[in-house]
């Protein structure tokens, strides 16, 4: 079956305008000010959500402990269901490998 994801970039996104699109999941920078968090987005859309990790702050410049904390918060907000853990946008090339490993450890 099809699985389509709509990614909406930036802050102050048009969440309610785009959430009715015929997709199975929505992706956005849920940690950016002006955007709904993952729990709110999941409730408002009724769809699976994708995101939860700030690629510009936590993933790129944070410690592994901060990354794991952010993963935990995302799991808490979504209940871990109908949820795809991901950065809000692309992973910066200069992201420390230890922070990517922290994501994997958080999920094992």
User: Which pLDDT does position 55 carry in this prediction?
Assistant: 92
What is the tens place of the pLDDT at every residue in 81-104? 999 999 999 999 999 999 999 999
The C-alpha angle 69, 29, 107, rounded to 5 degrees, equals 35
**Using CA atoms, how far apart are residues 87 and 103, in angstroms rounded to an integer?**
10
**Would you say residue 54 has pLDDT above 70?**
yes
Phi, psi of 33 (to 5 degrees): -55, 135
3 state SS of 53: strand
Domain range for 47 is 5-107
Q: In the chain, how many domains are there?
A: 1
pLDDT band, residue 108 (cuts 50/70/90): confident
Using the predicted structure, report yes or no on whether residue 23 has a pLDDT greater than 80.
Answer: yes
- Is the pLDDT confidence value at 1 over 70? no
Confidence check: pLDDT of 66 > 70 = yes
């Amino acid at each position: 079956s099809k699985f389509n994801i709509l990614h909406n970039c930036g802050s102050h996104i048009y969440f309610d305008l785009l959430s009715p699109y015929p997709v199975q999941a929505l992706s956005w920078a849920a940690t950016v000010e002006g955007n709904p968090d993952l729990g709110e987005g999941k409730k408002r859309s009724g769809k699976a959500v994708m995101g939860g990790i700030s690629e510009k702050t936590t993933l790129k410049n944070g410690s592994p402990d901060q990354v794991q904390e952010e993963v935990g918060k995302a799991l808490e907000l979504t209940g871990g269901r109908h949820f795809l853990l991901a950065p809000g946008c692309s992973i910066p090339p200069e992201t420390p490998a230890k922070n990517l490993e922290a994501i994997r450890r958080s999920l094992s």
